[in-house]
Structures are given as structure tokens and as C-alpha cells.
């Protein structure tokens, strides 16, 4: 009798869902540009990022919120501004993809 491989479809579903989220987040050129801008370790405000991308403040805020919710970015409030930077503890799945992109 052959050894049957037991496939845990719940684990596969969770992995597939997570990778879908990762790729959806990275599928937008502006989010990729934000990550690239901040990849050098600099901290930038929403206004600075918005100006650099030449897109609206609101669109920039939405992109930043998505990346922050996924733990790719972190934020720090100082002097009436919020500064965004790459989260040094970002999820490993993002590290794997970003290593190839940046």
C-alpha cells in the first residue's frame, strides 16, 4: 500500500488568501513606488510622498493605510506630522517578494 500524502486544504486556503493579499497590495504601481521611496531608510510625510508621486493626498493616504495595515510600513507622529517608514519587522512574505522587486 502506498503512503498517501495528506493535504491540509485549510492551510493551503490560508496561504493562498495571504498571497492574494500580498500580490494585491503590490499590484499597484504607486504602492510599489512608495515602498521603493522608503526602502532606503528615510521617513516621509504623506505630503512629501504625495508630491513625489504627483497624486492626491487622499489617494496617498489610502495607499499608506493599506501598507501600514499589512505591517509593511510603520508610522510615527512628530511635530504635527506623521512620518512613514518601512517596518523593519515586516512580514516575511513581503520580504521574499520585495527582495526580488527592489
Interior CA angle at 27 toward 58 and 92, to 5°?
100
Query: What would the mean pLDDT of 56-75 be, rounded to a whole number?
Result: 95
How confident is the model at residue 23, as a pLDDT? Answer: 82
The residues that bridge with 82 in the sheet, in sequence order, are 77
Confidence grade of residue 91 (pLDDT, cut at 50, 70, 90): confident
Answer yes or no: is pLDDT of 101 > 90.
no
Distance of CA 86 to the CA centre of its chain: 9
Answer yes or no: is pLDDT of 3 > 70.
no
Answer yes or no: is pLDDT of 67 > 80.
yes
Query: What would the mean pLDDT of 1-25 be, rounded to a whole number?
Result: 67
Query: What would the mean pLDDT of 53-64 be, rounded to a whole number?
Result: 97
Rounded CA-CA distance 102/88 in Å is: 15
Answer yes or no: is pLDDT of 98 > 90.
no
Rounded CA-CA distance 43/27 in Å is: 23
The residues that bridge with 77 in the sheet, in sequence order, are 82
Residues shown for the chain: 102
**Could you give the 3-state DSSP secondary structure of residue 75?**
strand
Which pTM value belongs to this model? Answer: 0.79
The CATH class of the 9-101 domain is mainly alpha
Rounded CA-CA distance 41/87 in Å is: 10
Amino acid at each position: 500500500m502506498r503512503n498517501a500524502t495528506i493535504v491540509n486544504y485549510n492551510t493551503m486556503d490560508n496561504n493562498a488568501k495571504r498571497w492574494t493579499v500580498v500580490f494585491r497590495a503590490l499590484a499597484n504601481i504607486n504602492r510599489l513606488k512608495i515602498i521603493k521611496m522608503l526602502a532606503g531608510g528615510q521617513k516621509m510625510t504623506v505630503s512629501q510622498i504625495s508630491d513625489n508621486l504627483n497624486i492626491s493626498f487622499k489617494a496617498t493616504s489610502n495607499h499608506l493605510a493599506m501598507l501600514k495595515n499589512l505591517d509593511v510600513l510603520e508610522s510615527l507622529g512628530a511635530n504635527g506630522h506623521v512620518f512613514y517608514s518601512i517596518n523593519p519587522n515586516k512580514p516575511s512574505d513581503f520580504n521574499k517578494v520585495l527582495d526580488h522587486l527592489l
